[in-house]
Amino acid sequence: KAGVTQTPRYLIKTRGQQVTLSCSPISGHRSVSWYQQTPGQGLQFLFEYFSETQRNKGNFPGRFSGRQFSNSRSEMNVSTLELGDSALYLCASSPDRIYAREQYFGPGTRLTVT
Amino acid sequence: GENVEQHPSTLSVQEGDSAVIKCTYSDSASNYFPWYKQELGKGPQLIIDIRSNVGEKKDQRIAVTLNKTAKHFSLHITETQPEDSAVYFCAASLHSGGYQKVTFGTGTKLQVIP
């Protein structure tokens, strides 16, 4: 079974621009979560989607948004990029969300904002 | 909210020795505790997990122990090998209010010296 895939793997943007990242979960997984990873803050939860609905959200500004499609693929969008948004953005999928379940991470998208 | 502390932040061991990483959590409602290994340039990989109704779980050279009363859990790697070198993250997870909340530790960089 194929793992979680994320595209693109690397991205360079300038301040003020917006960016869209994509995530395809493991086949059959319906829950997709997004995380931001930085050396200073570690792994921070952004949001979780299940059945095309955002079910949970972390403490990030409204510039960070996402969506999930009927095939469970998810996109994350960051508008008006800031230097501090430079990070590794990770997507994780889970079989379901009824119970606390294992998450499987993708390789991440390395975003650099200049 | 949940707070997860992880120690040590760095750990160097000789090949063949054992490595132990410890985590504490604050929310007694947490009931699922996964451990992840992250190699350079890759996303975190789930290596072992334990649920709150179990005290210990082992998978070949890796074991995890959980003390619910003290609210701490540990990762034990025996007979370490150079390929065990990576950053290891613990996490505490609970299902609350219809969604899953996952809090990660700050990571331990393990170096296995040949």
Determine the length of chain A.
Answer: 114
pLDDT in tens, B88-97: 999 998 877 6
Residues of A in contact with B98 (CB under 8 A): 55
pLDDT in tens, A74-109: 999 999 999 999 999 999 998 876 555 788 999 999
Select from B52, B57, B100 the residue whose CB has the most chain A CBs within 10 Å, as the one to mutate to test that interface. B100
Interface of A with B (CB under 8 A): 4, 6, 31, 33, 42-43, 45, 48, 55-56, 90, 94, 97-108
Give the 3-state secondary structure of chain A: CCCCEEECCEEEECCCCCEEEEEECCCCCCEEEEEEEECCCEEEEEEEEECCEEEEECCCCCCEEEEECCCCCEEEEECCCCHHHCEEEEEEEECCCCCCCCCEECCCEEEEEC
Q: What is the pLDDT of residue A98?
A: 53
| A112 DSSP β-pair partners | A12
C-alpha A15/C-alpha A67 separation (Å) is: 23
Q: How many CB pairs under 8 A join A and B?
A: 58
- DSSP helix/strand/coil, B82: helix
Give the residue from chain A lying closest to B29, CA to CA: A100
Q: Do B101 and A56 touch (CB under 8 A)?
A: yes
Nearest to A42 among B99, B102, B107 (CB): B107
Contact criterion met (CB below 8 Å) for A102 and B34? yes
Q: What is the pLDDT of residue B18?
A: 98
Contact criterion met (CB below 8 Å) for A113 and A15? yes
Determine the length of chain B.
Answer: 114
Give kind and range of the element (H or E) at residue B11: strand B10-14
Select from B47, B102, B106, B108 the residue whose CB has the most chain A CBs within 10 Å, as the one to mutate to test that interface. B102
pLDDT in tens, B51-78: 888 899 999 999 999 999 999 999 999 9
Q: Do A103 and B34 touch (CB under 8 A)?
A: yes
pLDDT in tens, A28-48: 998 999 999 998 888 999 999
